[in-house]
Structures are given as structure tokens and as C-alpha cells.
Amino acid sequence: MNILIYGLPTSGKTTFAEKLVDKVGIKNLRHVNADKVREAFGDWQFTKEARQRQALRMAGIGRLNEADGFDTIVDFVCPFNVYREMPQWDITIYVNTIDESPYEDTNKAFEEPKKEPTYTITDWEQVDDIVEEVAYKLLNQEEE
């Protein structure tokens, strides 16, 4: 299963992902964080092309993990709808807890979702319930 967690910088994507990993455990689960991927590739550019390149990297890592039998949680801004709507994402979680990030260029590039995400977090009081639901889906895939 591939899970995309997206939203503006500082909205809490990584915090949510870490809560989910803590709940599920890491036996067959990998958490891929955008900043770590950018660091590994030495790519800290934020042009439209660089953002597209990063989205394709993140999606590719998810597909590689899936091919190796791992579930993947990917957390990154993912500012463009076209990458959020890729068929590989079994669950999409939009962390919509802030109106704008500290990065004006990202605020301008970020597209509001066209397709309804599986979950939208607008308030941190929702987080534990959503973590429970997603963890249940991850842990009971064979039964579904």
C-alpha cells in the first residue's frame, strides 16, 4: 500500500507520518521523507521542474518499495494535483492545518486539491482518529 501525505511546509506532514509509523511499526513499512530524498540527491532547487522531478522521485521510491513487498508512507509538499492523483496512491492525506507556509514560492505553486483526498486533516484533534483508521487499513490489508 502506498500512502501520500501532502500539504504546505510546516503543516505537520512528517509529524503525522511519524505517529502513523509508531502506531503500525516498521516491519513491512517504509517512511520516505522529502527532505531526506532531496538531501540524498543533492537537489534543493524549487523551480517548477525541480518540484516535478521531486514528485517523480517520491512516486518512484513508493513503487520500488511496493515491488519489494513494503508499504510506503511518503510525506512531501506535492504541490501539483497531477502527482497527487497518480493511481499508485492507495490513500491520500491532505494536511491542511495552515493557511500559508513560510515560503512564498511554495504558497504560490501549491494547488488546492481537485480530487477529494481520502482524509483531510484541518485540526490536530482529528489526528489520533485518522492515525487509527489508516493503521487499521495497513495492518488488515489481507482481510480487505
Has residue 7 got a pLDDT over 80?
yes
Instruction: Provide the sign of the torsion angle of the four alpha carbons 51, 121, 37, 137, taken in this order.
Output: negative
Evaluate whether 101 touches 14 at the Cβ level (below 8 Å). no
The string of pLDDT tens digits covering residues 9-40 is: 999 999 999 999 999 987 889 999 999 999 99
- Please write the tens of the pLDDT for every residue from 119-138: 999 999 999 999 999 999 99
Res. 115 pLDDT band, cuts 50 70 90: very high
Per-residue confidence (pLDDT) for residue 142, from 0 to 100: 64
pLDDT in tens, 69-111: 999 999 999 999 999 999 999 999 999 999 999 999 999 999 9
Task: Give per-residue pLDDT as tens, 37-81.
Answer: 999 999 999 999 999 999 999 999 999 999 999 999 999 999 999
Residue 75: per-residue pLDDT: 97
Task: Name the strand (E) or helix (H) holding 7.
Answer: none
Give residue 143's pLDDT. Answer: 56
pTM, rounded to two decimals: 0.95
DSSP of 76-108: S----HHHHT-TT-SEEEEE---S--S-HHHHH
E strand map for the chain:
2-6, 29-33, 71-75, 91-95, 119-121
